Amino acid sequence: MKSSRLKFFLWGIVLGAAAVATALYLEDKKSKLQEGWQHGAFMEIFVRSYKDSNGDGIGDLKGLTQSLDHLKDLGIKGIWLMPITASADRDHGYATRDFRNIDPDYGTLADFDTLIQEAHKRGIGVIMDYVLNHSAKEHPFFEEALKNPQSPYRQWYEWRDEKPVGWDIWGRDPWVSAANGNYLATFGPHMPDFNMRNPEVVKYHEDSLKFWLDRGIDGFRLDAVPHLIENNAKDWNDQPESRQLTGHFTRLIKSYPNKYVVCEATAEPKIYAREDICGGAFAFGLENQIAKAAKGEAEAIQKVAQYYTQAPHTLASFASNHDQFAGKRLWDQVNGNEVQYKLAAATYLLLPGTPFIYYGEEIGMAGVKGLTDDPFIRGPYSWQANETTAGFTAGQPYRAISGNVSTHHAQAQKAGTDNLWSFYRDMLTLRNARVSLSKGSYESAKAQAQVLTYQRKAGQENTVVVINYGLQPTTLTLEGVDHQASLRALYPSKGAANQKGSTLTVPAQSVQVFAVEK
């Protein structure tokens, strides 16, 4: 072979190999989930409290992997894991000590890989909390910055020689005095803010996000994004720079196909739900109307009816979450009234927006005996009627268990009928079966006294939802439904008659769902 031909031949091999490698890389990046998976219902899971696999009393990734069928049975399409990265707090996990490793309490990276594979086999996507704004005080970068003002890591955090004055974030001074200066800590001295104007910090987060994306994570819940960048003592919340930077990270995540981002932005969720910022954001403000509506408060029913007429449908709805500022567990919000409980659940599971169920909500779990504040709502999952362990661990649970474990636990709920579990499952079955409910339009929304009615449409599919929060049955005329239309009862599947025409009799405290057929 002549040398030029040999060169040509060798180049052919190199280019061919490169093409194969690129194809394999893209194949690897390809989502294992169906397009649109992120419109199904999510479960928010605090791994520490979900299921312990090794008897140390602390929930872990293996325990969660063993519980995936349980989630699938309910109709769950996504899981949000509160932080599973190594943390210094050894509790909620938001004080990150290592952005690229699993907390030893929870297991290993291999356990994470198994969880992702097993979830995908069941058509369930997994997103995880990622904390951009701060690290733990015990993070090696901060420890370095703290002890050595000449360290390059000094520029990774917000240090000032002189203590800035006039700052007040939620009633406290966020500047913390240390031996060699003062550092900014929006969420308390144990969680110092990163200097997010430093390109090296941004690059570090980009690489950390890629680290998890390359391992197969399906997206992120981005924590506290309106706090990424502060300008001065007055202009510290939700600055334009924070929105821009959040959009930058979202674009990076979505450069991988079929990924999902949901942001925590308490003050302006509708803005953060925009495609150029997060795409998804929690519908803060709606959650505190849901239990009120369930109790029949007309003003709250009106607000619920209006909400999605003026809000992006990519918002994420919920009744409660892991933070007590968003309310107690739903059980405690309605004082154990299961009729109101179901009305609250139906309210947000059938509306537009992606529903996020807080673990335990689907079995009516109450708050933890004898605790207050956040620990009250973050108790071990009630698997069985065991007053010591709740079936959560073979050892001693790290935290006291739920106050109603003897009456409300997964084992009994799944064996029974006509209870909270079966209600949640029925709602999710409807949502999963009907594209109009998972991502259709929101039309003719109306609150008539204590009755909420609306339609969801997608293509030829038209679904009518009627929720009567009142103690009296009533008769009403459905807006936007032809007086000759046929209404086929979808829920309840038993005991509800198909209807002809737009005039409907609505039982007291009931949920009815119909398919509108011409």
Interaction site with Ca ion (CB under 5 A):
52, 54, 56, 58, 60, 133, 193, 227
| Smallest gap from residue 52 Cβ to Ca ion (A) | 4
Shortest Cβ distance from residue 230 to Ca ion (Å)? 5
Q: Give the H/E segment covering residue 505.
A: strand 503-506
Query: What minimum distance in Å lies between the beta carbon of 202 and Ca ion?
Result: 13
| Cβ neighbours of residue 121 closer than 8 Å, sequence gap 6 or more | none
Q: How far is the CB of 361 from Ca ion (least distance, A)?
A: 23
- Which residues, 6+ apart, have CB-to-CB distance to 27 below 8 Å? none
Handedness of CA 404, 409, 415, 421 (dihedral sign): positive
Minimum gap (Å) between residue 55 Cβ and Ca ion: 7
Smaller CB separation from Ca ion, 60 or 98: 60
Of 82 and 291, the one with the shorter C-beta distance to Ca ion is 82
Q: What single string gives the DSSP state of each residue in 427-488?
A: HHHHHHH-HHHHH---EEEEEETTEEEEEEEETTEEEEEEEE-SSS-EEEE-TTS-TT-EEE
Closer Cβ to Ca ion, 59 or 269, answer by number = 59
| 193 or 238: CB nearest Ca ion | 193
Phi-psi region of 449 (alpha: psi -120 to 50; beta: other; left: phi over 0): left
Asked if residues 81 and 115 have their Cβ atoms less than 8 Å apart, the reply is no
**DSSP 8-class letter at 496:** P
CA atoms within 13 A of residue 257's CA, in its CB half-sphere: 11
Minimum separation from the CB atom of position 384 to Ca ion (A): 17
38/49 with CB nearer Ca ion: 49
CB of 261 to Ca ion, least distance (A): 19
Q: Are strands 503-506 and 474-477 parallel, antiparallel or unpaired?
A: antiparallel
Give the whole-angstrom CA distance, residue 283 versus residue 308: 10
Nearer to Ca ion, 56 or 479 (CB): 56
| Identity of the residue, 185 or 293, whose beta carbon is nearer to Ca ion in the bound complex | 185
